[in-house]
């Protein structure tokens, strides 16, 4: 839920590594528990998350990955 260039590393063999899984942890209230505050980086977040709607899973992550790829290809956001 927090995909952004700052959370990508490249190792010595040019493999891409994703870091910072802090927002991937299971909530204390269980998987049905919903946070009431926004988490992540707004520039890379799916529109429904910014609007305060429920996290819909992989669809929101795919949106973030698309924005991330755009930023990496263009050099800016």
2 is catalytic: yes
Considering only CA atoms, which of 46, 38, 41 is closest in space to residue 7? 41
Catalytic residue among 2, 11, 20, 32: 2
Most distant CA pair in the chain, distance: 41
Q: Within 10 Å of residue 37's Cβ, how many Cβ atoms?
A: 5
- The catalytic residue positions are 2
């Amino acid at each position: 839920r927090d995909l952004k260039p700052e959370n990508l590393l490249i190792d010595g063999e040019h493999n891409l590594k994703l870091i910072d899984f802090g927002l991937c942890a299971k909530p204390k209230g269980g998987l049905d528990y919903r946070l009431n505050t926004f988490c992540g980086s707004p520039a890379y977040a799916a529109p429904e998350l910014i609007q305060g709607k429920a996290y819909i899973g992989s669809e929101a992550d795919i949106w973030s990955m698309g924005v991330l790829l755009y930023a990496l290809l263009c050099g800016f956001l």
